[in-house]
Structure formats: structure tokens, C-alpha cells
Structure 1
Amino acid sequence: MGIEDHRPARRARAAVIGGGTGLSVMLRGLKTLPLDLTAIVTVADDGGSSGVLRSEMHIPPPGDIRNVLLALADVEPMLSKVLQHRFQSGSSLAGHSLGNLLLAAMKEITGDFVLGIKELSKVLAVRGRVLPASAQPIVLIGEYEDGSEVRGESQIPKSGKKIKRVRLDPPDAVPLEEAVEAIEEADAIIIGPGSLYTSIIPNLIVPGIGTAVVRSEAVKIFVCNVMTQPGETDRYSVSDHVQALVQHVPGLALDYIVVNKGQISQEVLDRYAEKGSVPVQIDMDELSRTGARIIADHLVQVDTYLRHDTEKLSKQLLRIIHSWISGKR
């Protein structure tokens, strides 16, 4: 069945929720398709350049925002490379990426972090909107199965302990109104891929964000990671990922779960195994209990790292969205 078989009368609106590299990779494919995209990005990062700027300038961490902006941007490859450049020397500049500094500068120029993102989006000819889940810096707290806790998104995967749940400080963080509206107006809500506890769930537990997702009549699609993440989703199956989402967002009912069933070479598997990462197992018996339709396809490609095949994944998502809209007519 071709994409055109379910083409709606207007461009479908998609709200994509996540953060980190996985989200950026997927968005590079989605931006080429006839969709009105809004990326809702986590603001819980506290490591590296983002953490320093967050602390010193009292702004939400810009790192994930920067990556998503560049993924959706229509710019020359060299400009993208320049904005991703991380300074290696200089007591003040070392560790900072130019894109992070540019976002911090835009905040000072415009007087508002979100407005700064919008203005930079114009400069970079971004296809779609990029919105933080909240306009305020948020601290992520990880709770482990043994009852211990740790503060800071960057610290959560380091303990080697099994994560029980994550929560926000402040717990009453204010969601960005535009982000909530984007979810309410969406035809499709795409969750993931990305770090489950430190990139995806932090968005969904911002008060008002998860509620809007649950209440929405849009098709809800979860794109599961291809590999487990050391210190975060060790030995997790696909259903374990889903269970964690539902635990943090009570009432969440997914319509589709997209997983990779493609073979990965032994050489690549060995390389990832050295870091404690293995393929996420597709446990169909457990997944059948979720009520979601499982879309399993060969969705990976290998460059330097194992990534989702952006073109195949994006086309698969577009088929789902157009089919859902056509079915509602």
C-alpha cells in the first residue's frame, strides 16, 4: 500500500515528543514529508555545555533544542557542522558548542528563551516548530528499585542500579502552553525514539503534557529504541519500555508500536555488547496485551553508529498517520 493511498485533504499535524540523538535522527526524515511538525523537547539536561549554560544563565538547557533545530533546519551542511562544533580549548569556551552559545545569545537578545528559539528557527529555515516542554529549567530525579535517589539527568544512568521511576523538581513545573496546544491540535503524537527515562519520560511528566497526550484523540505512536541503553534500560524488552511509559503517564493507550526486526551484523552487535548494549527484544505475547498494533520492519542502518533508517521509518509513520486520518472520515 503506497503512501498516496491514504493521503488526506490537508497536511497532517504531528507532535513529536522526546529528545537526544534518536529524536533528531527521526526528524531528519520526517521533515521531508508532507507533515506539519512540532517537536516537543526535554529541558532536563544538566550535563556538559547545556548544564553550564543552564546554571550560569538560568535558562533551560539548550543542547537537545539545538540538535532538533539542526535536524529540522534547511541549511548547508557546513553551517550545521559549525553550529555543532564544540570548542576544545579556552578556559571559558572549552566544552561549549557554538549552537548552544547561539541559543543563549538569542535568549539575551530577545529577552525570552522560547522567543529566541523561534527567531533562530527563522534564521535556520526550520521546517516545523521546536518547543521546550517547559520554559523553566527542570531537575530530573531518579528513584531506584533499592529506594535510593539521585539528582540530575546526567547522573541517573551512572549508578548501574535498576530505575524504578523518575520525577521532576519542581513537581509543579509549568508546561509551555504552545506545547500543550500542539498536542491538543495534533492528528498524530509520536513518542520516541530516545533515552527512555532521561529524554522521553521527562517531557511526559511535565504537568499538563502527559494529560494532554492521554486526552488527545490523535493516533499515538511509540517508536521503540533499537538497542538497550546501559544504566537505563538494561535487558528491557519492548513491553518493558511501554510499561515504563504507562507507569509514568497513567491512562496512556498507544495505538501503534513501531519496532525494528531487521538483522544486525555480529560485528556491530559485538561492538555494542562491549558497552553493555543489546538489541531490544520484541516480546509479542506481552505486547499483544497492550491493545496496540505492532509494526515490525527492518528499520536500522549502520554508519558510525547504529541508527534508525530515517527514510524507511518516516514513510512507515506517514502511512500510519494517513491511514488513521482516512479511517476517521
Structure 2
Amino acid sequence: MALRIAKTRHLGDLLSSAYEKRVLNKGPKIVVIGGGTGLATLLRGLKKYTSHLTAVVAVTDDGGSSGRLRNEFGILPPGDIRNCLTALADREPLMEQLFQYRFGKGSGLAGHNFGNLFITAMTDITGDFELAIKQSSRVLAIRGQVLPSTLDKVVLAAELEDDSIIGGESLIGKANRRIKRVYLVPANPSPPQEVVEAIGSADAIIMGPGSLFTSVLPNLLVPDVLKAVRNSNALRIYVMNIMTQAGETRHFTASDHVKTIHNHCGPGLIDTVIVNTEEIAGAIRERYLGEGSVPVFLDREALAKEEVKIITGNYLSKSNFARHDSEVLAEMLMNLIDVDRIKNKRGPLRCGLLRCGPLRKLLKRRD
């Protein structure tokens, strides 16, 4: 009897998994551009609605474990790539924990992340960073794909308000001076062809959340990436950060963020801006204030002058951090993409997943 029940449950799991895979394969094609924890947070929510996800990730990090591996092995920084891989992973939670494990001691190991070392070793074995990412993606059975915005070794530089120049991503945020512009050295790196193709076929392109100058813009500064985004017929969305960032966007309003992107990339790049308007709890707010960060102020009139649609709401996580709720944000974005496809008559809907009750129940049960 117990064996029969076990077999029935196993069959049920297989059917649920097959049903889930079939529905996710009908999801929209979404490209998410950025880096850091913000991008990973968004991917965790979106992977529950579609398997057609492409994360385009900045490769300008030169600090911490990534910076050390970059200097010692001559590879592109693996940290933000690793974060996206684990966010999209469809393996057991233990595998994700392993990839995110950071060594706290050991000569030469302290501060390094296991996932970073894994990607470094895979690069050494395959002789190719891009192939190493693809093989790591197979190990984690990710939904979608993770791609660097360029395979060229680039350095992020910044011109500050006093006209001084700083080279290196890790130093830019420590300058404590307003940033006039950022740029790549060399100035014309090339993206992988898969990046251009993914952007060209996307239903939606989402920029952010993430550090404006050091996560979002470095991707858009790759000329052919920017060209592909600008030429795309996809809905182009910018997810506004919840908090300003000390050293990068201190005192920035919502319109300052969008103006900065348009100043670097040209006007009209963004169609829609998502802004959290939920008030942040006092204790959390005070903690961030001590770090030099405050909630991003929505200056609606100034933002509207950038000719963008403004969508506001409560997208705040219920954790002790001022971060986006990945599930709430993803659900809103999927509805937005649905509405855009209806309005612009872009063919049959790929989404419709929010109306799929069985799938939503299944995903909640799996979580």
C-alpha cells in the first residue's frame, strides 16, 4: 500500500513538473540588464513565469573575491554571473547554498566564494569564460541563460564633479563626489552575439534594479548592446532602486536616475518606470540613513518630463532590508507585459500565466 502511494505521489510530481515546464515554455521572452543583488532578486521572481529569461550582466567588478580572481587568473569577474546563475537555478537548495558559500578562513581562501572558484576552475578547464558559464548553467539546471554584456576585459572609469577621473568600479563608490559620467576603457567592446539576438527577439527589456553607475550603465555602455536595446520593439522598463546609494546616487531623485541613463544613452530609451511608494519602517530607514542612503524620492513632474510612463505601488520586501519583493515585482511586470502585448497587438500572448490558477498553486506549493 505504501509503495502504491509513493508511486502515485511520484507520478503526480512528474505530471506537475511536466505541466509547469510546458506552461513556462509559453512565457514571454524577457531580457534583464544589470548586476549585483538587485538583478538576482528580480530573476528569482521572473523564473516562476517564464523559462525564456536572459540575464545580461556587467563584467566591470574589480573588488572582493571577483577582483582577486580577475587579477590572479586574468578572467572576467565571476561574482555577478554567479549570483544570476544561483537565482535561476532549478536544483536543490543545497546546490544554491554551495555556490553562494563564502570561505571565512584559510590562507588564500578567506573571502572567496565557492561559486566564483567553480567558475574560475571551469574557465581553466574549458579555456573559455563563456563556455564555463554555459557548463555551470547545466550543473545548476537554470531556467534561461546568463550572458556577460561583453567578453572583452574592460575597466569602468568615472569623471567626477571636480573633473577628476577615477578608474576601477570598486573605487568609484568611494570617491564621495558626485559622478558626472561613467565610461568603459576600451570604449568599444563587443557583446556576445547571443546578447544581441536575445535583445532583438525580446518581448520586454528590464533594466535594474541595481547600482545605477556600476551595474546598469556598464552594460548599456557596450555600443552594440545599446544599439540593440534602442532598435528593439520590446517594452523597455526601468525598475527604480528603492534607496539611494552612498557614493553613487546620494540625493538622487527618481528623475535623476532616469536623466542619468538618458544622458549616457540618449533620450527615449525607457518606456516605463517602476517606483516603490510604500513607506519604509522607521528602524530600517534609520539603519540605512546611517549608511548614507535614503528612500528615492518620486519627483513625479520632473520624471514625467522624461516622457516615461510611471507605475507606482508597494513592491517592498517584508524583510529587514529595503529591497524589492521578488514575487510582487515579478507578478506586476508580467501583467504589464501582458497589457503591452494586447495594446500593441504584437501577436498571441505569451503570458497569460497570471490567469493560470493551477500553475500559481503549484509554484506556491513547491516554494
**Are residues 1:217 and 2:233 paired?**
yes
User: Could you tell me which residue of structure 2 aligns to residue 41 of structure 1?
Assistant: 57
Alignment of 1:158-197 (within 5 A): 158-197=174-213
| Aligned 8 A contact 2:268 2:307 in 1 | no
| Aligned 8 A contact 1:213 1:252 in 2 | no
Of 58, 80, 85, which residue of structure 2 is paired with 1:69? 85
**Are residues 1:287 and 2:315 paired?**
no
Amino acid at match of 2:64: G
Alignment of 1:1-329 (within 5 A): 10-34=26-50, 36-329=52-345
The offset of 1:250, in angstroms, is: 1.4
Question: Aligned with 2:110: secondary structure?
Answer: coil
Aligned counterparts of 1:246 and 1:97: Cα–Cα separation in 2: 35
Amino acid at match of 1:157: G
The offset of 1:10, in angstroms, is: 4.3
TM-score by length of 2: 0.85
Give unpaired runs (5+ residues) of structure 2: 1-22, 346-367
Amino acid at match of 1:233: T
| Aligned 8 A contact 2:152 2:190 in 1 | yes
TM-score by length of 1: 0.95
Question: Aligned with 1:307: secondary structure?
Answer: coil
Q: Deviations over 1:211-234 (max 9, x none)?
A: 111111110000000000000000
Amino acid at match of 1:145: E
Aligned counterparts of 1:129 and 1:207: Cα–Cα separation in 2: 21
Bigger Rg over Cα:
2
Give unpaired runs (5+ residues) of structure 1: 1-6
Higher helix share: 2
The offset of 1:35, in angstroms, is: 5.0
| Aligned 8 A contact 1:59 1:136 in 2 | no
What is the CA RMSD across the aligned residues, in angstroms?
1.6
| Aligned 8 A contact 1:163 1:232 in 2 | yes
| Aligned 8 A contact 2:27 2:49 in 1 | no
| Aligned 8 A contact 2:155 2:186 in 1 | yes
Aligned counterparts of 1:79 and 1:10: Cα–Cα separation in 2: 27
Higher strand share: 1
Percent identical across equivalent pairs? 48
